Amino acid sequence: MGNYQISSDVLPTLADFSLPEELGFGEVKVPIMYRADFANGEWQTAELTPYGNIELDPAAKVLHYAQEVFEGLKAYKVGDGRPNFFRPLENLKRMNRSAERMCMIEIPEDIYMDGISLMTAYSEPFIPNGSGKSLYLRPFLIGTRSNLGMGVSDTFTFMVIASPSTIYHAGHMKIQIEREACRAARGGTGAAKTGGNYAAALQSAQNVQRRGYDQSLWLDPVEMKYIEELSGMNFFILQNGELHTPVLNGSFLAGITRDSILALARHQGLTVIERDIPIQEVLTGIQSSAVSEIFACGTAAIVSPVSLIADADGTTYEVQKVDELAATLRQSLLAIQERREADPYLWTAEVDGSYYSEK
C-alpha cells in the first residue's frame, strides 16, 4: 500500500449520492476520485476526494502535446463477497508500456492498486450487481509541466475516476472498412492507449455513422491491406472452424479481452491462429461461407457480433452466423469475470479488505 489520505468530505459526499434508474455505459460517475501527483522527482501523498474539476495550467503538456495515457477496467459485484477486478495488473502493465512510449513516469503498482481499490471499496454501495453490470474504472495519467516548448513533462498527475455501468451494448454491429484514413502509423503510438489515437479515429467514425454503420474497421497503415482492429475493440473471424485474429504488430492495441478470448477458445478445443489477415480474404470468405462468423471484443462490450461488413464503395457483405460462437465466448468470459464460475486462470481478484478499514 502506498501513501494516501482520505478527505473528510468523501463519506458525506457518498452519503448524498444515489444511482439514477438508467445507467448506460460511462455516463454516471461516482462522486469521488483518486489523485496522485508526481513532482520534484517523487510521488506525493495521494488523496481520495469528492469528484470535481481539476485545475491545470493552460500551458500544461497534456493540453498541447497530448502527453496522456489511460486504461479501462471493471470491478464486478455479482456474486457474494467483496467486489472483484478482472486481470487488473495486465491493465497496469499496459498502462506503463503506454507511459513509456509517451515518455511519461512509470506508475508504481501500489499507487495504481490503491487508486482502483479505494475507488471500488468506497463506491461499493453503487456497484450494480446484475449480470453484465459493473463499476467501470478509468485510470489516467497526464503530463502537467507548464511550458510551451515541445518536450517531455517532468510533472504528472495520475487519477482514477469510476462509472457504475451496464454492459456497453454494441448490438449486432455493421462495420465499414476504412480505406483512406489511418488510425495509427507503424512505429507510431497505435499500441499505446493514448488519447491521440482516439482523436485520429473520430473523423472516420463520424463518416461511417453518417452512412448508417456503427464503426470503422481499420486496416494496416503500411499497405492498407491487413485488418487491424475497430476503434475500441479487437477483431476475430471464424474461418473453416478455426478462430483467427490479427497478430499483434505494434500498430494496434493488445487487448486484455483478446488475450482472454484466445485462452478460453484454446481451452474449449478451438484452433486459434494469430496472423496477418488480408481484408480481401475475409470478404471472399464471407461470400463463400468459409468465414462463417465475425466478432469484436473489448472490456466495455466484452464480445460483440459483427453482422455486416460494408466496403467504402457501398458493397455489403452479410455474415452468415451472428452471435453463435461469440455468445458462447461472451457467456464463458462473463461467468469468470463475475465469479459465477470457477476461475482456473486466476484472472479475478477481490478488493483487499484493508481498503475498507478507514470507512
Please report, as ranges, the residues that interact with ligand PLP according to CB under 6 A. 72, 229, 231-234, 253, 255-258, 298-299
Min. distance of Cβ 169 from ligand PLP in angstroms? 16
Q: Identify which of 139, 123, 163 has the alpha carbon closest to the alpha carbon of residue 24.
A: 163
Residue 12 phi, psi (nearest 5):
-60, -40
Least Cβ distance, residue 341 to ligand PLP (angstroms): 19
CA 233 to chain centre: 8
Whole-number minimum distance, CB 252 to ligand PLP, in Å?
A: 6
> Which 8-state DSSP code applies to residue 98?
H
Largest CA distance in the chain: 64
Choice between 107 and 256, CB closer to ligand PLP: 256
CB 175 within 8 Å of CB 238: no
Residue 249: DSSP 8-state: -
Q: In the complex with ligand PLP, which residue's Cβ is closer, 14 or 113?
A: 113
Closest approach of Cβ 295 to ligand PLP, in Å?
A: 13
Q: How far apart are CA 323 and CA 278, in angstroms?
A: 23
> Smaller CB distance to ligand PLP: residue 228 or 293?
228
What is the nearest approach in angstroms of ligand PLP to the Cβ of residue 296? 8
Give me the least distance between CB of 202 and ligand PLP, in Å please: 13
Closest residue by Cα to residue 35 from 99, 114, 105:
114
CB of 256 or CB of 279, closer to ligand PLP: 256
Q: Which is nearer to ligand PLP, 34 or 168 (CB)?
A: 168
d(CA 288, CA 258) in angstroms, rounded, equals: 26
Q: Which is nearer to ligand PLP, 122 or 235 (CB)?
A: 235
Pairing relationship of beta strands 173-177 and 302-310 according to DSSP bridges: parallel
